């Protein structure tokens, strides 16, 4: 009879073999791509954001033009900016402007618990190389100017509360004409939410932290792909994946992520850690990883037990909602990209 540890070892070995084979198959396809897609990353800089950002930075199909940090999520502004600059330095990506704006939502007082939030002490302990300086101005101005300066429509990868994006679109609604798509990790359309507070079983954290900003974005007319809990609930991080990913890690970026995930081993082993933001980043480059359903969706931004809910609504904005992800294909693609 195999023990749990023996079974985990066998499964991680099988995953490692799959990752190795897929790396050979996937990477040449990347090299054949034409001009990369210009992308703005808007992020609250949690550990799953690091995974998503490094995936985007390592993927030659993507050209990251700016990183805007939202201080209303898991990172405070200073620490979030420093981590973003460190990730850029780790990849040796070049000059990408980074900035933050505010740690206060556009409306309301919803927030992650203070003990969850990333401080400068955490940023300094990550072992990232020293990055450059924050860009002048603030994240909303950086977001807007990046769109305005682009000669082609830009894809927005939104990985945290939508404070920056909502503020920019409220200030200048015409910016939607410069947006090809907003890929949002957030929301829970047909599944339960994140149990953000007692009594609220419908909201997901990224939307809950600034529902009014999310409503502005959803109602802006911009094309939106929502990679919410409907999809991410089906791609849990497992210790078998972590073992295989760590064994396969061959680049500084992959080794950094392996180290970061090792710090979340307790959460992973308990079944409480999912591929939230990395799945959104992968769907941005490969929508066929999921099934996309066009749904009318509205954001409830009024106080009450459904504050922050992304509610199905026939009269709501038409949103592409991600469902039924191919978890094995995603894991293989993510691993191959980080090791490219």
> Residue 10: what pLDDT?
47
Give the Cα separation of 53 and 47 in Å (integer): 10
> Residue 24: what pLDDT?
45
Note the pTM of the prediction, 2 decimals.
0.92
Worst-scoring range by mean pLDDT, 7-21, 219-233, 246-260, 313-327?
7-21
Q: Domain of 26?
A: 4-338
Q: How are strands ordered across the β-sheet holding 310-312? A: 98-100, 62-69, 37-43, 154-158, 179-185, 224-227, 317-323, 291-299, 310-312
User: Count of domains in the chain?
Assistant: 1
Give the tokens for residue 134: 């924050």
Give the pLDDT band of residue 28 (cuts 50, 70, 90).
very low
Average pLDDT over residues 148-167: 98
Give the pLDDT band of residue 121 (cuts 50, 70, 90).
confident
Tell me what the pLDDT averaged over the chain comes to: 92
> Residue 118: what pLDDT?
87
Average pLDDT over residues 43-66: 97
Q: With a cut of 50, say whether residue 159 has pLDDT above it.
A: yes
Average pLDDT over residues 197-206: 95
More confident residue, 31 or 329: 329
Average pLDDT over residues 116-145: 90
> Residue 232: what pLDDT?
98
Average pLDDT over residues 138-160: 98
Q: pLDDT per residue over 268-303, tens digit each? A: 999 999 999 999 999 999 999 999 999 999 999 999
317: three-class secondary structure by DSSP: strand
The number of beta carbons lying within 10 Å of the beta carbon of residue 249 is 18
Q: With a cut of 70, say whether residue 9 has pLDDT above it.
A: no
Q: Which residues pair with residue 322 across a beta bridge? A: 292
Query: 106 to each of 59, 170, 281, how far by Cα in Å?
Result: 33, 11, 25
Average pLDDT over residues 19-29: 50
Share of the chain above pLDDT 70, in %: 90
Packing angle of the helix pair 252-262, 239-248 (nearest 10 deg) = 150
Q: With a cut of 80, say whether residue 17 has pLDDT above it.
A: no
The domain that holds 207 is classified in CATH as 3.90.245.10
Q: pLDDT per residue over 167-187, tens digit each? A: 999 999 999 999 999 999 999
Q: With a cut of 60, say whether residue 85 has pLDDT above it.
A: yes
Give the Cα separation of 105 and 72 in Å (integer): 6
Residue 219 buriedness (CB in 10 A; 0-12 / 13-18 / 19+): middle
Which of 99, 96, 102, 98 shows the shortest CA–CA distance to 73? Answer: 102
Which of 7, 12, 88 shows the shortest CA–CA distance to 43? Answer: 88
> Residue 186: what pLDDT?
98
């Amino acid at each position: 009879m195999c023990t749990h540890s023996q079974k985990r070892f066998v499964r991680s070995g099988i995953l490692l073999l799959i990752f190795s084979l897929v790396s050979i198959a996937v990477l040449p396809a990347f090299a054949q791509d034409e001009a990369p897609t210009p992308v703005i990353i808007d992020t609250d800089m949690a550990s799953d954001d690091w995974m998503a950002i490094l995936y985007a930075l390592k993927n030659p199909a993507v050209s990251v033009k700016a990183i805007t940090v939202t201080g209303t999520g898991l990172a405070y502004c200073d620490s979030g900016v420093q981590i973003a600059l460190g990730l850029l330095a780790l990849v040796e990506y070049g000059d990408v402007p980074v900035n933050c704006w505010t740690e206060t939502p556009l409306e309301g007082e919803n927030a992650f618990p203070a003990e969850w939030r990333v401080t400068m002490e955490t940023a300094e302990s990550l072992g990232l190389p020293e990055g450059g300086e924050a860009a002048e101005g603030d994240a909303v101005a950086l977001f807007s100017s990046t769109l305005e300066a682009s000669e082609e429509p830009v894809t927005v990868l939104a990985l945290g509360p939508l404070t920056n994006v909502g503020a920019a679109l409220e200030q200048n609604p015409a910016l939607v004409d410069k947006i090809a798509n907003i890929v949002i990790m957030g929301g829970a359309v047909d599944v339960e939410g994140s149990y953000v507070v007692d009594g609220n079983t419908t909201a997901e954290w990224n939307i809950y932290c600034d529902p009014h900003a999310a409503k502005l974005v959803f109602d802006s007319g911009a094309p939106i792909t929502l990679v919410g809990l409907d999809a991410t609930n089906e791609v849990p991080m497992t210790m078998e994946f972590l073992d295989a990913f760590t064994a396969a890690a061959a680049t500084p970026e992959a080794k950094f992520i392996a180290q970061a995930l090792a710090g979340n081993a307790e959460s992973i082993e308990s079944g409480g850690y999912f591929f939230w933001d990395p799945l959104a980043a992968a769907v941005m480059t490969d929508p066929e990883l999921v099934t996309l359903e066009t749904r009318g969706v509205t954001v409830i931004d009024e106080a009450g037990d459904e504050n922050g809910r992304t509610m199905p609504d026939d009269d709501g904005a038409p949103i592409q909602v991600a469902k039924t992800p191919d978890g094995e294909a995603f894991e293989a693609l993510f691993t191959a990209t980080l090791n490219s």
